[in-house]
Chain A
Amino acid sequence: MNTNSISGRLFKSSLAQWGIISLAAICVLPLFFILYYIIASGIKVIDWSFLTHLPKPVGETGGGIANAITGTLIIVIVASVMAVPFGVLSGFFLYEYKNNRLSRWAGVCVDALHGIPSIVIGIVAYFWLVKPMGGFSGISGSLALAVMMLPVVIRSTEETLNSLPPNLREAAMGLGMPLHKIMSRVLLPCGFGGIISGALLAVARVAGETAPLLFTAFGNPFMNADMSQPMQTLPLLIFNYAMSPYTSWQELAWGAAFILLSLVLLLNLITKIITHKWKIQL
């Protein structure tokens, strides 16, 4: 066949192809610059003592971010423990009762919650938790982050369940399974990969949140694992130390940024692995 007759179309096709590739490259470039900058500035301060020591006062060299790493881990884990079970169950509710007035309103609220700026959640947490409790605390930080995680977990659970084939439900119904068994023994195991990866993405999202923690966990230059007291976290440490006029503190912030970035990337990697491992051929 003569290709002249379709040369116009071939040209448009390759134009579209290159258009897509170059636009994608433009999107990815800034990401690479950010990664490069953080790695280049952060990696030189990273060593074992950076991970295991506390920040030193101004004027002394060295020091680490052990308190921020501990604080971030504790606050984020506690937030997940609070948000994931509620989020998954709410996701099941939205999936199961699609035509229910309550679920429609709940869906609207979830989307609204998703759209609330994190600083607003921080202020609300400050007035509802920090003030009544009489002071900044790690637990109020966890609660603020849990509220931020909820919409992500709910929606990803619901989406995962919606993507399961409806005949799976029918199979279970036909065997005389009650609703709670269908949820726990069929839908949950079949959607497990998707639900867990949604939860991990929510964790990755809040691990780097600063704004809600400014009003709640507040920050703490010392090691503290007591959740009723102010706690240091990586984003807070970066925020406070990067704005300080001292070079040694700024370096500490770069190192912390590098660690935070690594944590988030690691979480994303684990998510990918879990989605892959738990992929059930439907």
Chain B
Amino acid sequence: MENTTVSAVKYNAWFGDNHVVKNVSMDMPGNSVIAIMGPSGCGKTTFLRGINRMHELIPGAAADGQILLNHEDILAMHPIIVRRKIGMVFQRPNPFPNLSIYDNVIAGYKLNGIKLHKTEKERIVEESLAKVALWDEVKDNLNKKGNFLSGGQQQRLCIARAVAMQPDVLLFDEPTSALDPISTATVEGLFSELKKNYTLVIVTHNMQQAARVSDKTAFFFSGELVEYGDTEQVFTNPFDKRTQQYITGRFS
């Protein structure tokens, strides 16, 4: 798999007059896990949603600067194309309740009206579910509805749904905050597997999670990118005082 990179160049985002993301520039190298952490309201989720142009769907939202996907500016592309190249997994598992597990995996094709051959469909379903370690658990229940599964399984189904579209980048918006510890561990375990094929960007307010799963970590504070570097460096030897205060629990 080619080395897909995402770069933000002087990216700004607003909600009305509220400047939520301030002049953020960062390079996210391919085939790695980038964690974005920071206190509530620091703009990390807004930044993530900017990467696949979901931010602009909110009334009053605006953005400028550049987000480059393999050196191509996504703000100049059609949002629908962007979202097919950059998949997203949300905070709460959101499988389509009207579709079976099987159809949920290929929802990106099925609901967009992209025709696939049956063998092709079956290959995508099995491969995608295997990638999220869900195949063995659900292979006998593929025709049951998506919300027949537990919360953790639903979240993995949502990851499989994003993976099935063969995106370049996968965005995770606090993907485990609605899950129990065991499901969290399973989902975290997927990241090292998934990064072989994709660039993963994960927003989390759980510092331990950022430390466990990521290669690089960014620390956002009131809309600014305070610190960004290799995870080990950020956690053991942060350059900025605010980062140090945050990771030592001085504020959250």
Contacts and interface: CB of A to CB of B under 8 A. Distances in A.
B83 A173 contact: yes
Given A174-B87, A175-B84, A175-B161, A181 B112 contact: yes
B94 interface: yes
A170 B97 contact: no
Nearest to A164: B97
Chain B CB count within 10 A is highest, among A165, A167, A168, A175, for: A175
B90 A174 contact: yes
A190 B108 contact: no
Grouping DSSP codes into helix (H, G, I), strand (E, B) and loop, the B interface class, with mixed when no group exceeds half, is: mixed
Interface residues of A, number: 21
A132 interface: no
Contacts of B59: 99
Given A185-B111, A186-B111, A174 B162 contact: yes
Contacts of A176: 79-84, 108, 112, 165
Contacts of B22: none
Contacts of A117: none
B158 A175 contact: no
Interface string B135-179: 000000000010100000000001001100100000000000000
A176 B108 CA distance: 8
Nearest to B111: A185
Contact of B97 (A177, A185, A190): A190
Nearest to A170: B90
10 contacts: A170-B54, A172-B111, A175-B83, A175-B111, A176-B108, A181-B111, A185-B110, A281-B97, A282-B97, A282-B147
Task: Please give me the 3 A-B residue pairs with the lowest Cβ-Cβ distance, nearest first.
Answer: A176-B83, A176-B84, A174-B88
Given A171-B94, A176-B81, 17 more contacts: A168-B97, A170-B88, A171-B96, A171-B158, A171-B161, A174-B90, A175-B107, A175-B161, A175-B162, A176-B82, A176-B84, A177-B108, A178-B80, A178-B112, A181-B111, A185-B110, A186-B98
